[in-house]
Amino acid sequence: MEKQREEMSLDEKQEAMFEKWLSPKDPQGNDLKFQSPQAEETYKERIIRTKDAIQMKKLPDRVPVFILPSFFPVYNAGITPQEAMYDYDKLYAAYKKFILEFEPDGHLGADMPGPGKFFEALDYKLYSWPGHGVAPEQSYQCNEGEYMKADEYDALINDPSNFFSNTYFPRVFGALQPFQALPALTGILEMYGLAYSFIPFGIPPVQAAYKAIMEAGNEAMKWVGTIMAWNTEITSLGFPNIIAGFTKAPFDVIGDTLRGTKGTMLDMYRQPDKLLEAMDRLTPLMIKMGVGAAQMNGKPLVFMPLHKGADGFLSDEQFKKFYWPPFRKVMMGLINEGCVPFPALEGHWDTRLEVIQDLPKGKTFWMVDQSDMAKAKKTLGKVACMTGNVPSDLLTLGTPQQVKDYVKNLINIAGKDGGYIVSNGAFFDHAKPENVKAMVEVTKEYGVYK
Amino acid sequence: MAKELVSTLADLKEKEALKIVEDRLSAGEDPLKILDDARRALEIVGNRFADGEYFIPDLVYSGEILQIITDMVKPKLAGAAKVKRVGKVIIGTVAGDIHDIGKDIVVFMLDVNGFEVYDLGVDVPAQKFVEKIKESGAPVVGLSGFLTLAYDSMKQTIKAIKDAGLRDKVKVMIGGGQITEEVKKYTGADAYGKDAMAGVTLARKWIGTS
């Protein structure tokens, strides 16, 4: 009989998640049918190889290799980011070509571009995307701003959902501007007076906003149909999509999404207690977001893109006071539910490595961009598996031989005694296909553990 | 009191610094002197950043306090403040890229180190750099970029400068998240700076102020 969840150790909970990942389901919830026994075997080998690297209990058969691109599969297929965001058949074909051409042990799926018409329906402001602020042949880019004002911390802390729907949404979605007029849902309590609360829903602009939401929802459904079909086919061919979903470090929720870099930095001086309180309030929400995705998709890795904690963006003291404690709490919350937090250290994080190694061994997995790998191996690498560090400039401008030499060296340094997976360090758009291929090939040849 | 404002602002004590400015203004002091002290304080901030004592949030905060001081002083200014500048530098994030944090830090550091900075903003077309070089005569151009697409934009910008016959009149430095020595070679830039201070050092070297 299955053990009760409360009785399970952290190791057992994580193991159970990996077990689920080893038995994938199709969109109807039935056991997924692989295209061949060989494909099924390869799929399982890839996951076990990844699991062994992450858990650090025994050596994998060889160093696994992932490719973690941004828009590279799109350029590689000769289509534009705009086409990938608006023509789902082209998206499907481009990402399928990418997987079959490079055969990585792990990939991120085909959902990076997202559905263009969906963003249009909502008039999304936080990002510019091809044809909407950036050229058709370019990837989307973030428009940081103060979408939450300096004096709105209490509103966020008191009722985060209400703050998001009635204040944040009207600012980042042009089509949802009328949501400012929505009632507080927690005021809906008794028969008497109930109809007053629903008056806003009768106002034409609010009704128009709901129409936009339905239109966006329809487009999201259409797009996700493609994404699910793609995942099913690619999985059935033996290629695991490694991430279940994503969540964020609370400091980045405020820094990237709500207050912007500048606003958050000023808050550290002018209202540090409010900033800390708000992150505390967001922490359980971020845990729930990651755990929910992992349970729904039946796999352990929860991606966490990290931004404002990089070297220089905060002093050491600020990092230890503001960034690390809530970030660690989110990771521990995920670990406690059997998930494997998968943070990406974008840029340089050399000065943070000693601090962030305060974690249980074999429970987290880190993407490293440009940090010093030898130093990372001696610190964070003692308790956690890492991936990445193959540089963007090398993949874009180098030669296959240079890539091979670089990866061999990485395997020697970071792959020694396991705990390392080869991959690119930053999510990349442009690269020479032969260089990406060289990264995969050299790992498969040179990365075998004897 | 001059020293007081300089050190208070350099130590990022916002409330105290603003109080000093207020007191000095109501005492009828020359607003230009106040601005000059503020500028000296920011120079100290820049030095502390270069020494690794201060970090990006400290730069941002000091810039914010300076802005408040400038707004307080402005109504009392008779003419524009003339600050002696050591040389001109043009800066911008190249075409297709809209990232500004790194660029803004370089602008800040050049500014507090006495350079006249022409900040062209983000997603700057190559031609705009060319026009600004012609118009300002600046001998140094800094190209910023965060994405890999910037490699080609930088290359094209430098080519546009060359095609306009201006390549031997300017030195070009590049910088940003995924920029390296290899990218420098690819784009044909004169140098790559790994951080804001490297940008200042390059500008000093080329303009001959060090």
All structural domains of chain B: 2-76 (1.10.1240.10), 87-207 (3.40.50.280)
The DSSP letter of residue A448 is B
Q: Which one of B12, B51, B56, B99 would you mutate to disrupt binding with A, by most A Cβ within 10 Å of its Cβ?
A: B56
Measured between CA atoms, the residue of chain B closest to residue A389 is B178
Q: Is A143 on the interface with B (CB under 8 A)?
A: yes
Q: Is B177's CB within 8 Å of A134's CB?
A: no
Res B210 pLDDT > 60: no
Name the region of A312 (left: φ>0; alpha: ψ -120 to 50; beta: rest): left
pLDDT of residue B147: 85
Among A128, A270, A430, select the one facing B98 at the smallest CB separation.
Answer: A128
User: Chain A closest CA to B137's CA: distance in Å?
Assistant: 30
Average pLDDT value for chain B:
91
What is the spatial distance between Cα A130 and Cα A119, in angstroms, rounded to a whole number?
11
Q: Is A394's CB within 8 Å of B182's CB?
A: yes
Cβ–Cβ < 8 Å for B150, B94 = yes
- Fold topology of A5-66+242-446: TIM Barrel (3.20.20)
Q: Is A393's CB within 8 Å of B99's CB?
A: no
Q: Is A394's CB within 8 Å of B14's CB?
A: no
pLDDT (mean) for B113-126: 94
**pLDDT-derived band of residue B76, with 50, 70 and 90 as boundaries?**
confident
The DSSP letter of residue A323 is I
**pLDDT-derived band of residue B81, with 50, 70 and 90 as boundaries?**
low
Among B57, B101, B178, select the one facing A318 at the smallest CB separation.
Answer: B57
Q: Is B148's CB within 8 Å of A261's CB?
A: no
Q: Is B183's CB within 8 Å of A397's CB?
A: yes
B96 contact residues in A (CB cutoff 8 A): 134-135, 138
- Give whole-number Cα distances, B87 to B135, B138, B140, in Å: 15, 8, 9
**pLDDT-derived band of residue B149, with 50, 70 and 90 as boundaries?**
confident
What is the spatial distance between Cα A395 and Cα A375, in angstroms, rounded to a whole number?
23
Whole-model pTM: value is: 0.92
Q: Please compute, for residue A42, the number of CA atoms within 13 A of its CA located in the half-sphere on the CB side.
A: 17
> Which parts of chain A register pLDDT below 50?
1
Report the DSSP beta bridge partners of residue A132: A129
Q: For A388-427, how does the pLDDT look when each residue is reduced to its tens digit (9 = 90+)?
A: 999 999 999 999 999 999 999 999 999 999 999 999 999 9
Q: Is B56's CB within 8 Å of A393's CB?
A: no
**pLDDT-derived band of residue B2, with 50, 70 and 90 as boundaries?**
low
Q: Which of B23, B34, B114 is nearest to B71 (CA)?
A: B34
**pLDDT-derived band of residue B101, with 50, 70 and 90 as boundaries?**
confident
Q: Is B50 on the interface with A (CB under 8 A)?
A: no
User: Chain A closest CA to B89's CA: distance in Å?
Assistant: 24
What is the spatial distance between Cα A136 and Cα A395, in angstroms, rounded to a whole number?
23
The interface residues of chain A toward chain B in range 294-323, judged by CB-CB distance below 8 A, are 312-315, 318
User: Pairing between strand A127-130 and A141-142?
Assistant: antiparallel
Q: For A201-220, how does the pLDDT look when each residue is reduced to its tens digit (9 = 90+)?
A: 999 999 999 999 999 999 99
Q: Which of A24, A58, A386 is nearest to A236 (CA)?
A: A24
Q: Is A429's CB within 8 Å of B182's CB?
A: no
Res B3 pLDDT > 80: no
Q: Is B67 on the interface with A (CB under 8 A)?
A: no
What is the spatial distance between Cα B63 and Cα B57, in angstroms, rounded to a whole number?
10
User: Chain A closest CA to B105's CA: distance in Å?
Assistant: 11
Res B148 pLDDT > 90: no
Tokens representing A282 are: 């967001």
DSSP-assigned letters across all residues of A35-71: SSHHHHHHHHHHHHHHHHHHH-SS--SB--BB---SS
Among B55, B64, B96, select the one facing A266 at the smallest CB separation.
Answer: B64
CA A127 to chain centre: 17
pLDDT of residue A99: 98
